[in-house]
Structures are given as C-alpha cells and as structure tokens.
Structure 1
Amino acid sequence: MAYLSASRYLSGLIFLGRGWVFMIADQYDVFLFDLDGVIYRDDVVLAGSRRCIRKLRALGKKVYFLTNDPRPTRQELYDRLKSMKISVSQEEIITSGWATAQYLAENNISDVFAIATEGFISELEALGIRTKIEVSCQAVVAGYNENTNFAQIQQAIRHLEKGSRFIATNADKSFPGRNGRCIATGAIVEMIRMVSGKQPFIIGKPYSYIFSIVFRRVVPGSRMVMIGDSLETDILGAHRQGIDAILLYKDKLRFPSKYDYRMPDNIIPNILDLFKPNVEVKNWRNPGFPWPDDVKPGVAAVIFNAQRQVLLVRRNDNGLWSLPSGHLEIGETVIEAIKREIQEETGLIVDVKKLIGVYSDPVSQVFSYPSGATTHFITLSFLCCITGGCMQADYSEIAEVAFFDISNLPINLLKMHPQWLTDALVEQSFSFLR
C-alpha cells in the first residue's frame, strides 16, 4: 500500500528547475467534466481540451463527462467527441437523458409520457420503457424538445393529476444561443410544476442522481473534482455531493456569503491550468446545512401560561415539537402574521408583548420538506400573551398542542427553539439578532 500511495503521489508531480512541484491534476483521482462550455462550444472544440484529457489519461486519472443536455444519445456525443479527436469511451459519457432512463429502469417504471427528442426517446426505449402512452402512465418525464407545444404540456399535467410521478431530466431554465438566451428544460418543468402543484424528481446537475452513477463506478475513497462553467449546476452540484469544484472562468467573482455552495474551490481561465505548477485547490467543507431553494420570512411565538409553562405544538410534517410558527403571507404585517398563525395552529388569541429576536442562522433554519423543497427562513420571534380563544390543535398541520415546564422540554424539539426560549427569558428591553 505504501508503494502504491507513493506512485500515485509522484505521478502528478513535475520537475521545474529547483525541484518537484504540485499541480491540480495531482490532487485528484477522478475528473468530472461538463461538456458544452468546457470541452467544446457548439461544434468547436475549445483550446486545450484535447491535450488536457490526453495528459490526464497519461497520469492514470479516471475521466467522466457529465452533461445536462437530455437531447443527444451517448452514441451521438461519443461520435462528436471522436470527431474532435478527443479520446473517450461511451461508458465515460453520462447525459441527463441517459441517466433518467437508468433511474426509470431501476425503479420499475416502464410506461411514461415523455417530452423528449428522438434521441432521448431512443435511450428510454433501449431499456424497454414505453413512451407512446394513450391513456395512463406511471410517470411524466419532462425533457427537452424545441417543438414542445401547449397541448403536450397540458397532457403532462393531466397525467400528474391522475397520480403519475413527475420526473425531470434537468432544471436548466435557459441556455445561450447564437441570438440570445433560449428556453431549456427547466422552463418547461417549471410550467408543469406551477400548474400541477407537483414537485419533480430531478436527475441532472445540481441534483444527486447523475453524480451517483459516477460514484458507483469509482473506487470508494477516490479523490474527485468537477470542472465546469456553471455556478448553478456544475459547482453547486458538486458541492451538494461533497466533492470539490473548479470553475472555468476568466474573471474574478464575489459571493455574498463564505458559505455559498456556488463558490468554486478554485477558478482557472484555461483548462490546461490543471497542470500549472504550484496551484492547489482548497477542499470543499460542507457548512452544515443543505442548500436551500429560496429564502422566506417567518414568524414564531413564545407563550407562557400562569404556571410559567411554555406552549409547544407537535407538527404533522416532521413529528417534531416546536414553538408555534409559520410564514408571513403577502400583504400581512408581522404582527398580523403571528396572531393568525397562533390562532390557526392552536385556537388561541394572543397579543404581542415584544420582539424577542431576529434569527437567520442557516445551520438551524434551513428546512427540507417531504415535497423536496428546501427553504431558509428568516424568523422574527415574539413574546406573546393569551387574551382569548380555546386551545385546539389544527389537525391538518398540528397533531398536538400542550404546555411544558421549561426544565422538562420534549427531546424531539426543533434544534433552534431552545435558544429562542432562552432569549425570551432574558429580562432585557433589547432584541437579539442571531
């Protein structure tokens, strides 16, 4: 084992004048490349890509090509790359369309309504998945076809209303064309989602399934990196899977937070910079929360009874106890929102005494829901007092309502609420910002 490790270590070093130096290519065993914008653009091979792939193979590295484009077959992409004189095998090419076909086959889904090109349909039919559906289907598969019309979208929605599963090849809403931005799969998916109310299971980057195909093929513990030109798919997708990501880009970028999943671990202007001496990649460290789809305002209440017990509710969606809380709706003030939420959840009428604090810590305030949505809440927590009503759980959202002694709170309490409760007990006139 020591010999193998030393061989791997030395294979990626180069000798320059004074001695051996590191390069990015030495730091990884497996390289994942996006295609359009990294290896080629349209039908033109990009400078350095041929040489880059050739050098990586000479160093014994594993190479895979991951594209969100569901239109071409793997054979078509293989033929395109070979015509560009790029060394590749068909097994190294993973498209969102082919990956979708694999997912359907693994889950015994054999009858689908597909919005797809002939190429994508051929990938489905190669695995025995029927796409010519007349009446009912197991799943709606939303891919891309530039000739998609409203009748097809409406038919997809009808199938979802009848109980079909919703699966999408990818979520890219647009792509660059010669004359400007063009509609992509994600725009079609979003139209279906908004009308049907169904959340799709998405196969391509930045979601996990397309990456999982690679994970199954490599030696466990392999050092992996994604090379891409998109922050929203390549970089975000790699980081969501816990692997490093390098952005191919010529300018510097700024991000609002050091915990932004879209922040690349390095930025290189040319793909051959993977072999540039004395360049290291800062390894990705998960900040401790899942990447949210959006940020929403929320409200919460701390309510004590005459015995100084605190009111808690047990939620149906996750089975956890929490302080009464909810969303701020359009047109509401935060005071109106907290009064409405408490009355809806518990049947109690309250007055607001003071603002306890404003809470935005993503580690404790990013929530993933059964629908697949993940939201980061900025929550205003209020100290409230009961003025009327009759305590009664709203069983559509709340399973149980009860008062608890401060010293004997339930074990399955939402993790940030003890802090909010502690802040409420502080006898101060100020509000906390956390």
Structure 2
Amino acid sequence: MMKNLFLRGLLLIGLTFTSVAGAQLRVETAGVGANQIPIAIAGFTDETIAPQQVTAIIKADLARSGFFKIIDTGNAMSETSPVDFNQWKAQGADALVVGSVQRLADGRFDVRYRLYDTVKAASLSGFGQAAGADRIRVAAHRIADDIYEKLIGVRGAFATRIAYVTKVGNEYRLEVSDSDGEDRQVALRSNEPIISPSWSPDGTKVAYVSFEAKKPVVYVQNLVTRQRTVVANYKGSNSAPSWSPDGTKLAVALSRDGLTQVYVVNADGSGLRRVSNSSGIDTEPQFSADGQNIYFTSDRSGGPQIYRMPANGGDAQRVTYNGSYNISPRVSPDGKSLAYISRRDGRFQLYILDLGNGQELRLSDTAKDESPSFSPNGKYVMYATESGRRGTLAVVSVDGRVRHSLTTQAGDIREPTWGPFMK
C-alpha cells in the first residue's frame, strides 16, 4: 500500500489546480546578492519608437538577479555619447550602460548598447543587433546577459525560456514564456492533466506526460512545428521523461513490467530498454550532466530516497541520507550539485546538495515545494510552491540569498522547467 501511495503521489503531484486568469505573470523579488554592483542604466535614445522599452527590460532583469543595485540616470544617452566618468563615479556607479534604438529600412529595429567600467574609465563591452518588433524583448535580454557575464563572470540566463503548466477552467495548458514570465505562448491545450515537462538540450522540443488518453503517456513536442511524437505508451503508467545531454534519448519511468522502473528510450520512441531492476519503485530519472549516470528516486530502502546508477544500468548508490523522504532529483549543469525536495517536520522544501563534499543547504522557507529546475548557468533554481493557497513559481539563487516569485493574479501555476541556452 505504501508503494502504491508513493507512486500515486509522484504521478499526481502538481495536479491540484484552480482557475487561472489570462494575465501575465507578476515578478516579486526579495533579497540581494552578497556584493551588489551599483550600475547606472541610461535611457536608450529613441527607444520609444520600439514596441517595448529596452532599458526597462534590462533594469528588471538585472534587479531580479539580486547582484545589481540600479542607479536611475534620469536621462538618455546613446552608445556614441561622450562619458564623464568622474560624474558617474560621484553618483556611486561602478558601471554605466548606454545605447540607442533606430528603425531600419526593412522595418526591424537596430538596438545598440555599450557597457562602461566607470572606475577604470574603460569600455567593457558593446554590440548592435537587428530585431523585429516581436524580438525586442529578446534583444534586451541579450544585453542584460552580456552585462551579467562581463560584471559577474558567469553567463547570463535572461534570454532563456521557461515552460510550466496552468489550468483555465477545465483546460490544462502547457505554456512557454521568457525567463521573466513575459511573452507567454501556449504549446498545448488539453482537457486532461499535463505534467512533468522537460526541455530538450537544444531548446526546440519539450517532453511531457499527458493524460488525454485517460492514462499517463509520454510525448515529445516540437515547439516550432508543434508536431508530437508518442515516446512511451505502454501498459500501466508512463511518466517522468528526462533528456540525455546529447538530446538523443530520454529516461522514463514505466510500470509495464509491474512495479515502476527506469527505462531509456530513443527520442523517437524506439529502442526501449530497462536500466533499473529493483524490488521497489524506481522513478523520476535524471541524466547526470555528462550523461554517464542517472539519478532517480527509489523506495528500495523503505522510504523514497535519491540514488545514482550508471546510465546503462548497474549497481545503484544512495545519494541522500538526511531526512526520511527525498524526491525529485535535478542535477546542476556543471554536475556538481543536486537539487531535490525533502519532507522534514511535515514540510516539503527545496534543498541543494554539494555532490563533492556532501554539504546540504535548504533553499526555501515554504512548505509545499515541488518540481525544481536549474537555470542553464547553474546560478538559480526554479520550483513550484504555494502562496495564499495558490500555486506559484519561485526562483532562488543557489546560495539562498536571492529569491523572486512569478505569480498570476488568480489561480495556480505548476510544473516549471527552465530551458537551455539558445544559440
């Protein structure tokens, strides 16, 4: 009975929805990074001709990261404007961002920017990019990414996408948006639940579980063509898809042979093979960053814990030991950390484990967390939780210092997955 309840809980996690409004997500940020960099961001000259204000998007991105203190300049400056570095240093700015927006003959917009180090009185970076009216937000996110990388030393992830599940009335939706929740697009609508979305490494596809056949079936959907492929539709439960780093395979959890076990299947649904073989329930598989191992949840020790085994199958090693209930493993992009949900004192909370030294850190202070997902630069973890009895998405830095939430005005939002860097 315990095993059945455990499996049912994993399958149905995140399926308690209420109606959700069609409004965009709202972002609320709390906490700051260890050392905030004071940065002045001037208004880009002529940016009002574009459908979105570039500087507003850049400011919101950098502020949300927690690593920057935004200094409002109160005026516009182009990338060719002369710069009085002493003036900006006097205002407390260590860095300055300037730029411009111009309309091109083909109707697109030429977005140019430059980043200055005011302390060293030097230019750090700058570039121009042509963007259609529907790509202004992406252009602004790319500028924020470049600023983040030049000043923090880590690639920015503002220009990436996220996917998640909402419910409107009796309709479930798999939605895709910018990392800040803007520019939402519906990838799938269904009258039956959708769970466990997972991005392909190239960002062109999403695997997920849909109940539209009145049972859980694993699909892969091309986000460009919307073509869908059935990857796993066997007797019993088909669940928890996770991509291999090279994008050629998926790890899935199937109950076709009795108890749920871990299988690997080609992305087109061919070549199914079983890789776990235990007397318990093995589920929620996740490939390691190098593709050599699979992390998964198993109750073989009596309660759900996280294990690691070779990707081709073999002896499994237990990874989590603190707490009696640990589920939903997610491996960081560099393979050094593991995020997961742990139940302690009746609270389901997000934890991160250093796989090298075994040190554990609790990242959330909520009580109903689920579905963690690392940002592609490994600096943040997105997860689903509850606020005011409604499902929300939360993001926390891996050191726990910076938090922000993405909420709708009404209803629940669940099952987040953070997409990869796009080329």
| TM-score category, normalised to shorter length | under 0.3
Return the TM-score normalized by structure 2.
0.26
Q: Which has the higher contact order (CA 8 A, sep 6+)?
A: 2
Q: TM-score, normalised by structure 1?
A: 0.25
More strand by share: 2
Larger radius of gyration: 1
Greater helix content:
1
